[in-house]
C-alpha cells in the first residue's frame, strides 16, 4: 500500500502546531463552560445560605433588624481568641 508523500520537517511541525492550537481552543471552551457552571453553583449556594439564615431568624422569633443588630455587636471568633493569648 502506498503511504503517500512524506512530510518535510517543517510541514510536520506546522501540522503538530495546528493540532496543539485546536486542543487549546477546545480546552479554553471547556474552561469557559466550567467557570460558568461554577458561577451558577456559587449563586445557588448563596441563595441556599441566605434562605437557611432567614429561616433560622424566623424560627427564633427575631426580626431582621434584631438579627442585624446582633451581628454588629457580637465579636468575631478571631478577636476573642486574640484577646485570650
Could you read off the pLDDT of 5-20 as tens digits, one per residue? 788 889 999 999 999 9
Distances (CA, A) of 36 to 31, 32, 40, 43: 9, 6, 6, 11
Evaluate whether 46 touches 38 at the Cβ level (below 8 Å).
no
Whole-number pLDDT of residue 81: 56
List CB contacts of 62: < 8 A, sequence separation 6 or more.
Answer: 70
Q: What is the pTM of this model?
A: 0.62
Evaluate whether 64 touches 57 at the Cβ level (below 8 Å).
yes
Interatomic CA distance for residues 28 and 16, integer angstroms: 18
Whole-number pLDDT of residue 5: 75
Whole-number pLDDT of residue 83: 54
Chain centroid offset of residue 57 CA: 28
Q: Which parts of the chain sit beneath pLDDT 50?
A: none
| Geometric angle at alpha carbon 54, from 52 and 59, rounded to 5° | 95
Amino acid at each position: 500500500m502506498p503511504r503517500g508523500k512524506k512530510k518535510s520537517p517543517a510541514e510536520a511541525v506546522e501540522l503538530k502546531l495546528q493540532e496543539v492550537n485546536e486542543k487549546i481552543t477546545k480546552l479554553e471552551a471547556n474552561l469557559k463552560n466550567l467557570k460558568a457552571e461554577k458561577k451558577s453553583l456559587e449563586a445557588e449556594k448563596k441563595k441556599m445560605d441566605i434562605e437557611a439564615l432567614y429561616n433560622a431568624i424566623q424560627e427564633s422569633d427575631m426580626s431582621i433588624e434584631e438579627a442585624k443588630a446582633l451581628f454588629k455587636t457580637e465579636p468575631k471568633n478571631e478577636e476573642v481568641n486574640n484577646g485570650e493569648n
